[in-house]
């Protein structure tokens, strides 16, 4: 399966314009943002867990990072409420579940193979948050004020996911849970909407994909 798999192109996915797709696990549905592969895939996905659903135990051969958007996501290590950011490095494993339901943004099989850094952070509260940075990538949350113009300098690729509020890029509006991916070498800018925007940004990680 290939979804938005040409990383030399700008891609925009609007949450309200896409349908939920059932996964092999009962009660687990997905909105695929990009994907290369079948059930084991390099993928960026919004995943919704119905109350009481459980996903099969699995090992993260290529790593996993996720941000909890709604509800409480769970595994053997504990509960992760809204605003939890987690990086599970290659070789880690777990059995995900959500007793009361949850929605997450998750990226799979995109880590450096030698990365063994585990991160558990909360993005809750005001202000920007630096979540992770190494020589391959930079992950952070930013608050943009109403009408603020922000550079989107994508020298090695950039993704922006809207947590709340809105912004406009190249005349296209992005609202809550919308996603924008810019290819390496792109120089652009975003203008925050009338109530500002809170965004999750990942950059520097796509140079090897084009």
Q: What is the pLDDT of residues 82-113, one digit of tens each?
A: 999 999 999 888 999 999 999 999 999 888 88
Length of the chain: 210
Q: Which two tokens stand for residue 191?
A: 């203008």
Residues in CB range of 33: below 8 A, 6 or more apart: 3, 4, 11, 13, 43, 44, 45, 46, 179, 181
Q: Does residue 190 surpass a pLDDT of 80?
A: yes
Split at pLDDT 50, 70, 90, the class of 59 is confident
pLDDT for residue 42: 84
How far is it between the farthest Cα atoms of the chain? Answer: 45
**Strands 186-203, 97-98: pairing kind:** unpaired
Residues in CB range of 17: below 8 A, 6 or more apart: none
Q: Which two tokens stand for residue 23?
A: 């996964």
Split at pLDDT 50, 70, 90, the class of 210 is low
Q: Which two tokens stand for residue 172?
A: 């296209």
Mean pLDDT of the chain: 93
Q: Does residue 132 surpass a pLDDT of 70?
A: yes
Question: Residue 68: how many CB atoms within 10 A of its CB?
Answer: 23
Q: Which two tokens stand for residue 7?
A: 């990383």
- Distance separating alpha carbons of residues 53 and 75, to the nearest angstrom: 12
């Amino acid at each position: 399966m290939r979804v938005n798999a040409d990383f030399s192109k700008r891609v925009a996915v609007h949450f309200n314009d896409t349908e939920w797709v059932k996964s092999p696990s009962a009660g687990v549905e997905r909105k695929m943002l990009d994907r290369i592969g079948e059930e084991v895939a390099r993928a960026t996905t919004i995943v919704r867990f119905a109350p009481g659903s459980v996903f099969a135990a699995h090992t993260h051969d290529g790593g996993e990072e996720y941000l909890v958007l709604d509800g409480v996501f769970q595994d053997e290590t504990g509960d992760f409420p809204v605003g939890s950011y987690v990086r599970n490095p290659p070789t880690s494993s777990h059995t995900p579940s959500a007793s009361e339901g949850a929605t997450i943004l998750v990226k799979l099989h995109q880590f450096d193979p030698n990365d063994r850094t585990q991160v558990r952070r909360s993005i809750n509260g005001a202000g920007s948050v630096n979540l992770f940075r190494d020589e391959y990538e930079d992950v952070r949350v930013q608050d943009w004020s109403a009408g603020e113009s922000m550079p989107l300098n994508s020298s090695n690729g950039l993704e922006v996911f809207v947590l709340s509020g809105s912004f406009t890029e190249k005349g296209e509006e992005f609202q809550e849970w919308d996603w924008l991916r810019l290819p390496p070498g792109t120089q652009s800018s975003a203008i925050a909407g009338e109530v500002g925007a809170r965004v999750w940004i990942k950059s520097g990680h796509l140079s090897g994909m084009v």
